[in-house]
Structure formats: structure tokens, C-alpha cells
Amino acid sequence: MSEIQPTPTVIDAKDRINPFDVRDLWEYRELIAFLTWREITVRYKQTVLGIAWFFGQPAISLAVYVLVFGEIIGISSGETPYAVFVFSGLLPWRYFSLALTRGTTSLVANAAIISKVYFPRLTIVIAMVLAPILDFLVSFVLLIGLMLLFGISPLSTSLLLLPVFTLLAIATAFGVSLWLSALNVLYRDIGHLIIFISQMWFYVTPVLYQPEQMPPLLRSLFAINPMSGVVEGFRWALLDAPNPDFRMMAISTGVVVVLVVSGLIAFSRLERQFGDVI
């Protein structure tokens, strides 16, 4: 009696590039969850302070910025206490910075897995962008406590739009990470430059100052920076600040859409080379 031979499964490249096919990602949703949790746990593993770093890092950063830019340089924040003003902008920026750094180096950091096992490489970038959300939530709790300390009510009707600006920050980090992570596989200089890129991006984002304090020409250029719209949106939603420039925010949102769509296309085209180059 002849034995039944198993049918071989052949994994081959797709005939056409379709970066918007989410079916593969849904099939690997458990892998995304695992990679996200692994990134969270590994980051603070074998540290003396452990989870206390979630609270300590944003608190220390806030203290330094308030001392240098609020007390020494004397930057005005209007009627809002400078500490609350800075932290409301630092909240989305810190998430973006962490997600951008991890997302950019994600493929190279997981080279051993990529070169041996097949799975959508996009899952790694998604996981690295999602992991800092926990840091974001912890910082959000600290901000609410800081607002209550200064007698500022965290409840306002505009607070309902906070998830929209949060998603905009996530989309911005995802779109930029798609480009930089793929390029970092081909050109490792990107991994060394990411800290410099993040620092320069920070200072052209109105985290420490009000956009009104900049010259009109620079304020117009701020619309190209999607994180400017995110920071202004967070302050408007949390502090019930004056309405932001919605025209500029619309431009920022358009930039984010272009970043994500073009990033997905570029990532999909370069993905076939990852296994050989990395």
C-alpha cells in the first residue's frame, strides 16, 4: 500500500505589489502582539528601578525643560503654567520620538529572525510603533495629576477629540518609520542619524514654545511638520486652549496620509531585498 505524500507548500513572492492587503497582517496579529509585549518587557528587564522608569523619564525631562526654558530663558506660555504647557506638548512628542527610534532600527535589530523565518516584515515595524503607547499612557496619567495640582480641570468638550490627535501621532510615527526602517536596511547610516533627526525635529515642533512666538514665515512652514498639528491639537483638547489653525492642521493631516501611503509602497518594494541585504 503506497504512502500518501504530503502536499508541499511553496512560499513565493507575490506577482504584484499590494501594500494595502491587511489579510496577512490579520493572520499574524498574535505575532504583532507578542513582538509588542516583548519590546515592552525587554526594555526594562534587569534594571534596578524597573517600571519606575515609566514615571521617572518624563518627570526628569519636564523638570529640565521647565528649569532651562521656563526659568532661565523665560519663554512665555500665556495664562497656562509653563510646566503644564510643556508637558501637554511633551506627551505626544515623547511617544513619537520613542516610536520613531524603535521603528527605524526595528528591522536591523531583528535581522536574525528576518533572515530565517517568513512572516510579513511589516509586523515588526507595527509592533515597535505600538510598544511606546504604554509610556504614553503613563505620561498621560502624570499630566492629569499635574493639571489637578495647578487647579486646571482636565474635563472639556474638546477632550473627546484627543483620540483623533493620538491616532495622528501614531500614524505619523508609522509613516516615517516605514521609510527609515527600510532605508536603514540598505544604508546603516540612518540608524546612526536617527537621534540627530529626532533632536532637530523636536526643536522645530512647538513643544517648548507657542507657535505665535515664531516669525510668520516659519509659522507657515510649521504646517508641513505633522507633529506641530498634533502638539497644538493636544493642547487644545487637554487645556481648552484657543482653537488651533485648522487649515494648517488639515495640511499636516495631508502630509501624514502621504507619508503612510508612500511609506507602505516603498516598504513593499524594498521588502524583497531585506532577507539578502540584512
Q: What is the pTM of this model?
A: 0.86
| Helix (H), strand (E) at residue 117 | none
> CA 120 → CA 39, 67, 69, 117, 180, distances in Å?
18, 46, 44, 10, 17
Residue 13 has pLDDT above 50, yes or no: no
Q: What is the mean pLDDT of residues 72-86?
A: 85
Closest by CA to 135, choosing from 83, 173, 84, is 173
Residue written as cell 500500500? 1
Please tell me the least confidently modeled range out of 11-20, 40-49, 201-210: 11-20
What's the chain's average pLDDT?
83
Please tell me the least confidently modeled range out of 7-21, 54-68, 117-131, 226-240: 7-21
Q: Report the C-alpha gap between 268 and 244 in whole angstroms.
A: 36
Reduced DSSP (H G I as helix, E B as strand, rest coil) percent helix, strand, coil of the chain, to 5? 75, 0, 25
Q: What is the pLDDT of residue 25?
A: 80
E strand spans, the chain: none
Locate 1 and state its grid cell.
Answer: 500500500
Distance of CA 108 to the CA centre of its chain: 18
Q: What is the DSSP letter of 241?
A: P
Q: What is the pLDDT of residue 119?
A: 82
Q: Name, in order, each residue with C-beta under 8 angstroms of 203's C-beta and a sequence gap of 6 or more.
A: none
Residue 17 has pLDDT above 50, yes or no: no
What's the pLDDT tens digit per position in 50-73?
566 667 777 888 888 888 888 888
Q: What is the DSSP letter of 161?
A: G
Q: What percent of the chain has pLDDT over 70?
A: 85
Closest by CA to 226, choosing from 260, 252, 201, is 252
Q: What is the mean pLDDT of residues 79-83?
A: 88
Q: Report the C-alpha gap between 273 and 87 in whole angstroms.
A: 41
Residue 1 has pLDDT above 50, yes or no: no
Q: Packing angle between helix 122-130 and helix 82-109, nearest 10 degrees?
A: 160
Domains of the chain by residue range: 23-277
Closest by CA to 167, choosing from 128, 124, 207, 133, is 133
pLDDT tier at 44, thresholds 50, 70, 90: low
Q: Name, in order, each residue with C-beta under 8 angstroms of 54's C-beta and a sequence gap of 6 or more.
A: 44, 134, 135, 138
What's the pLDDT tens digit per position in 234-275?
988 888 766 777 777 888 889 999 999 999 998 988 887 776
| Higher-confidence position of 82 and 52 | 82
pLDDT tier at 125, thresholds 50, 70, 90: very high
Is the Cα torsion angle 43, 48, 50, 52 positive or negative in sign?
negative
Residue 48 has pLDDT above 60, yes or no: no
Q: Report the C-alpha gap between 225 and 232 in whole angstroms.
A: 12
Locate 26 and state its grid cell.
Answer: 490579520
Residue 20 has pLDDT above 70, yes or no: no
Q: What is the mean pLDDT of residues 214-236?
A: 82
